[in-house]
Amino acid sequence: MRGARTLVLTGAGLSTDSGIPDYRGPGSTPRNPMTYEQFISSEGFRRHYWARNHVGWKHMAATRPNDGHRALTALEAAGRVTGVVTQNVDTLHQRAGTRTVVDLHGSFDRVTCLTCGTVVPRETLDARLTALNPGFRESHGPVGDIEIAPDADAVIESTAGFVVAPCDTCGGVLKPDIVYFGEQVPRERVERAFALVDDADVLLVAGSSLTVHSGLRFVRHAARHGTPVAIVNRGATRGDEHATLRLDAGTSETLVGLLPLLLPVPARPTTRASVGGRITA
């Protein structure tokens, strides 16, 4: 990475130090995220999703960037990192100050209507859901005692009776602005990510098992075009065969460890000496 332009592809493993669990890391709880087909085809599934999300999204909104996110921001500011393509939906890269970010799977803080395309902040929807379901969130106890998935899905026993809010503009179905399993990543995001890969000298994967194709394709693309690929992750990944360097380690400590190796050394202050009772530079 010395003297090179590096693009970083990040996954859920980067956000675990911020208190957001991952899907597939060592010791993580097995999860079965809702699929796109389930969400669009069943009112019951939508009620189940929005009830759990209503409880869990506040936890996501309260999380903060960790040292790994801040290290990438510092590397971008120094011109060492050209940008970040993230599979995460937690917006922590932006909150850390990174400027070039492709949210491959969308963002948890926006909601879109599947009928008219209206996009509203998740906070706006929260006010409506709270009014429609008074006391529902509080009835499940402190959020710190509830297991939360990376997409803000809270593990609660019952969602019976929860009232789902329709689109305020057309009455259509509201969906979080995230890519569900079984749903296609919008073409413009994929094309922008490929352009960043092509513009980079190195691709660094940080905290992703590359289990899903949406991230793995960029590793394969880089390898086909002779771009070195470095992978930092706890546990094996689907992209290991394409890696020039494979490091089984945590992302935060690794990214922080890169800072003194890649950032310019600050200039030392000019020595000051005493001559004839006077201080001279």
Catalytic positions, please? 105
Neighbour-count burial of 149, counting CB atoms closer than 10 A to its CB (0-12 exposed, 13-18 middle, 19+ buried) = buried
Q: State yes or no: 151 annotated in a binding site.
A: no
Other CB atoms within 10 A of residue 264 CB: 8
Tell me: is residue 113 an annotated ligand-binding position.
Answer: yes
Q: Please report which residue ranges of the chain form alpha helices under DSSP H.
A: 36-41, 43-62, 67-77, 92-96, 122-132, 187-199, 213-224, 251-262
What is the Cα–Cα distance from 80 to 206, expressed in whole angstroms? 15
**Known binder of ligand: residue 252?**
no
| 3-class state of residue 270 by DSSP | coil
Q: Side-chain half-sphere of 172: how many Cα atoms within 13 Å? A: 14
CA 264 distance to own-chain centroid: 28
79 marked ligand binding residue: no
Binding residue positions for Zn(2+) = 113, 116, 167, 170
Binding residue positions = 113, 116, 167, 170
